């Protein structure tokens, strides 16, 4: 008896890229003080008012099976929100509620890719992307982006790999780089996608975390609504990571296919979680701004402290809960830098290499600890980097 090859295929047999995180957890368990800037999760918990709504719903009896694509009220609220933000007519029929954005990414690739198909994603990427694609039986092919272009995807790089591919997965605001794709970049992506007849899967789970410019959903570009599947989530916008509620917004036939898959995999999302999400969405933009505000402040701190450094170039980040630092001037790889920083300063950051070859020589800093501690971490990180200069 043996485990299916599919599982080994998910990681490609290599490391999962989270060694620093595991090392840090072991240090903390052993009682050491480590400033941890690794994982993309808020340092606050879900707001009590949302938990109360969840409790009320559960106590009212909403604890049975919740088959299907989600409650129509929630699907309609998500559709209205998307329509208001993008100007694209969106019906509740276009929306499928999923157990988080991650499940939405998996379901979308399952619905669009057959085994053996090629599915493109940008590099650097959110750590699960290649594994999510491989789990469907498709081949994950990376489209490199470049530090010199602020990691914005270039039309030519996509086109060079697009022949015969089925899908392209993009992410704006971006994890790990913090970069928000501008309209011209998205228009280039849209041209490549149309020229090669691809589906575009647009991961927009950080769409409420914009520090500069504005979020443009590619679904809003001319001719793109019919071929774009946008993925959203309550995790980052409402600090609801543990509640597992996300969604896809897709053409109706794709939404139906994803619903068919859900009937045979997840059975949908618990009704009391859906009710809590609806409550949370109804709290409006000010609530979301309050959840995002700490990351906005800490990004400012990082920019201020690292400005003028000879050892570090900050990738111009304008969204999401991360900043990406180019540390190639030190002559170190991202892995070497992150491990040495942890050793010398007890500060944990993620090596760029954990997010793909294109981010080699970079490290990702999560903006996820209290402002004073974050400032201390940046000052010490900057000093450490200066000392590594050849």
Tokens 């995790």 sit at which residue? Answer: 235
Choose, by CB under 6 A, the member of 20, 205, 271, 378 that binds ligand PMP.
Answer: 205
Burial of 101 (0-12, 13-18, 19+ CB in 10 A): buried
Site residues (CB under 6 A) for ligand PMP, limited to 368-387: none
Window 206-245: contact mask with ligand PMP (x via CB under 6 A): ---------------------------x-x-----x----
Stretch that binds ligand PMP, among 95-103, 131-139, 186-194, 304-312 (CB under 6 A): 95-103
**Does 294 help bind ligand PMP (rule: CB under 6 A)?**
no
Largest CA distance in the chain: 65
Tokens 């409650």 sit at which residue? Answer: 71
Q: Which residues pair with 201 in a beta bridge?
A: 169, 229
CA distance linking residue 196 with residue 70, whole number of Å: 33
CB of 40 to ligand PMP, least distance (A): 4
Choose, by CB under 6 A, the member of 108, 136, 171, 209 that binds ligand PMP.
Answer: 171
CA distance linking residue 118 with residue 91, whole number of Å: 30
**Does 124 help bind ligand PMP (rule: CB under 6 A)?**
no
Structure token pair of residue 255: 């939404």
Stretch that binds ligand PMP, among 21-29, 99-107, 160-168, 267-275 (CB under 6 A): 99-107
**Does 356 help bind ligand PMP (rule: CB under 6 A)?**
no
CB of 124 to ligand PMP, least distance (A): 11
**Does 317 help bind ligand PMP (rule: CB under 6 A)?**
no
Tokens 């914009």 sit at which residue? Answer: 210
Burial of 304 (0-12, 13-18, 19+ CB in 10 A): exposed
CA distance linking residue 232 with residue 237, whole number of Å: 9
CB of 62 to ligand PMP, least distance (A): 22
Stretch that binds ligand PMP, among 13-21, 94-102, 130-138, 326-334 (CB under 6 A): 94-102
CB of 369 to ligand PMP, least distance (A): 17
Structure token pair of residue 203: 């991961």
End-to-end CA distance of the chain: 54
| Binding interface with ligand PMP (CB under 6 A) | 40, 100-102, 126, 171, 175, 203, 205, 233, 235, 241, 246
């Amino acid at each position: 008896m043996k485990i299916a090859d599919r599982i080994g295929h998910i990681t490609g047999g290599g490391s999962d890229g989270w060694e620093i995180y595991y090392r840090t957890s072991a240090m903390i368990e052993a009682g050491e003080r480590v400033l941890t800037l690794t994982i993309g999760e808020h340092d606050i918990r879900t707001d009590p008012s949302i938990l109360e709504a969840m409790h009320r719903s559960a106590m009212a009896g909403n604890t049975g099976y919740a088959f299907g694509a989600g409650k129509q009220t929630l699907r309609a609220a998500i559709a209205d929100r998307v329509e208001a933000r993008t100007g694209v007519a969106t019906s509740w029929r276009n929306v499928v509620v999923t157990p988080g954005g991650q499940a939405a990414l998996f379901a979308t690739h399952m619905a669009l890719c057959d085994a053996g198909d090629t599915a493109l994603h940008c590099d650097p990427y959110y750590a699960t992307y290649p594994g999510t694609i491989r789990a469907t039986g498709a081949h994950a092919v990376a489209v490199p982006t470049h530090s010199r272009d602020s990691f914005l995807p270039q039309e030519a790089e996509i086109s060079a790999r697009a022949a015969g591919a089925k899908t392209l997965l993009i992410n704006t605001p971006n994890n790990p780089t913090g970069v928000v794709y501008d309209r011209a970049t998205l228009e280039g992506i849209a041209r490549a996608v149309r020229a090669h007849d691809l589906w575009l899967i647009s991961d927009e789970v950080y769409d409420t975390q914009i520090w500069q410019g504005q979020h443009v959903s590619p679904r809003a570009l001319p001719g793109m609504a019919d071929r774009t599947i946008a993925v959203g989530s309550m995790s980052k916008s409402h600090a609801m990571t543990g509640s597992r509620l996300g969604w896809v917004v897709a053409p109706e036939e794709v939404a139906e296919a994803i619903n068919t898959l859900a009937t045979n995999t997840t059975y949908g999302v618990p009704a009391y979680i859906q009710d809590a999400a609806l409550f949370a969405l109804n709290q409006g933009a000010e609530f979301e701004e309050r959840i995002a505000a700490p990351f906005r402040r800490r990004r400012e701190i990082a920019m201020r402290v690292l400005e003028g450094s000879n050892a570090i170039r900050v990738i111009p980040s304008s969204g999401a809960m991360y900043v990406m630092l180019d540390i190639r001037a030190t002559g170190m790889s991202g892995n070497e830098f992150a491990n040495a920083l942890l050793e010398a300063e007890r500060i944990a950051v993620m090596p760029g290499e954990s997010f793909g070859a294109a981010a080699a020589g970079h490290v990702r800093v999560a903006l996820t600890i209290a402002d004073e501690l974050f400032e201390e971490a940046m000052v010490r990180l900057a000093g450490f980097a200066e000392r590594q200069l050849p």
